[in-house]
Amino acid sequence: MAGRIEARLKELGIELPQAAAPVAAYVPYTRSGNTLYVSGQVTVWNGERRFIGKLGQDFTVEQGQQAARLCALNIIAQAKAACGGDLDRVVRVLRLGGFVNGTPDFHDQPLVINGASELMMQVFGDAGKHARAAVGAPSLPGNVAVEVDAILELA
């Protein structure tokens, strides 16, 4: 199904990864009414883990933004799966929660998570503007650099 959002992805030259299967005792998303909750997505591209390590030690802020962008691509892939392939059903990105695996002296979590936030606004336009949290973590699953979860409103 090639709708408005699929056309936008194509225009931006964005390819979505395959929606990742859960690696523990959870589901990739749940829906309650018109609200879609997407579980934390990490830096995986079609099963291959990327961006393994810490911000402030192994990665720069700019590399962290690319890691966060990859998490956001995975969120969109999960939303597409939840919507039966029709991303036009996404009415609004309500909230993103970003977690950054950083050294104790790394304090640029908001700048890193901008990589996810900016992608949502590029893809969904004004509907991609959202509330957000960006927090530091001493470690993340598999030592990935970033994890992002989302809450979306669906039609």
> pLDDT digit string (tens) for 74-131?
999 999 999 999 999 999 999 999 999 999 999 999 999 999 999 999 999 999 999 9
Dist. CA 107–CA 112, nearest whole Å:
10
pLDDT digits (tens, 9 = 90+) for 29-40: 999 999 999 999
* Token pair of 108 as six digits: 């640029």
Q: What are phi and psi of 106, to 5 degrees?
A: -85, 125
pLDDT at residue 123, as a whole number: 98
Residue 11's identity, in one-letter code, is: E
In 103-117, which positions are buried (b, 16+ CB within 10 angstroms) versus exposed (e)? eeebebbebbbbbbb
**Residue 140 above 80 pLDDT?**
yes
Catalogue all structural domains in the chain, each as residue range(s) with its CATH number: 4-12+29-154 (3.30.1330.40)
pTM for the model? 0.97
